[in-house]
Amino acid sequence: MRAKRYGAVLAVLVMAGTGVAAAAPAVAAAPAAVCPTGWGSLPKSAADADLGSLSGIRTGTHECYDRIVLVVPKAGTAAIGYTVSYVDTLHQDGSGEVIPVSGGAIIEIRVAAPSYDPETGAVTYPGRAGQPLPHVDLTGYPTFRDARFASSFEGDTQLGLGVRARLPFRVFQLPDRLVVDVAHTW
């Protein structure tokens, strides 16, 4: 009778999580990411080219950086003209109006691709001056804080990217895309 009672008590203790259990094997911690360095925070640019219109913008976050991608479908493998630099204030092309951008620092992105078809005037990217970028949600991003459409003026599209602080960034091109990565840390 006593054995049954002890067995029941032991079962209750184990089920309640207070019983003694063998030590679980240790799980190795994931190694810390080795993030690229040396990108710098100085302006970056490439010569202008007349390649087509901006058709989309998307973002993503990675282990070491946040990324914004500007899609210019007719560019193919040709170089896309751009200028990317930190600015104190984002001024809209044409009007000079200030576009407020949240964050500790502002990166101005200019791409040599209008947000409309120059031949027909049809909108190819639905950005509106001073408004957040359509379909871009930066919730939970370590570095990106805000992304604003500034203008599409004289064949260029201008964006403001609010970031946590003045951090290093790089710019490169893939077929039909301009990519800007901003590091999470120095």
CB-based contacts of 139-144 (< 8 A; 24+ apart in sequence)? 140/61, 141/59, 141/61, 141/66, 142/61, 142/66, 142/184, 143/61, 143/65, 143/66, 143/167, 143/182, 143/183, 143/184, 144/59, 144/61, 144/66, 144/68, 144/103, 144/182
pLDDT at 8 (0 to 100): 45
- What pLDDT, on the 0 to 100 scale, is given for residue 32? 61
Q: Is 6 helix (H, G, I), strand (E, B) or coil?
A: helix
CA atoms within 13 A on the CB side of 53: 17
Residue partners of 108: CB distance under 8 A and separation at least 6: 83, 84, 85, 86, 87, 90, 150, 158, 159, 160, 161
pLDDT of residue 27: 53
Tell which CATH architecture fits domain 44-183.
Sandwich (2.60)
pLDDT score of 14: 39
pLDDT digits (tens, 9 = 90+) for 54-98: 999 999 999 999 999 999 988 667 788 999 999 999 999 989 999
Find out whether 129 and 151 touch, Cβ atoms under 8 Å. yes
Q: Which residues pair with 146 in a beta bridge?
A: 162
How high is the pLDDT of residue 20?
A: 41
Low-confidence ranges of the chain (pLDDT < 70): 1-32, 36, 48, 50, 75-76
Domain layout of the chain by residue ranges? 44-183
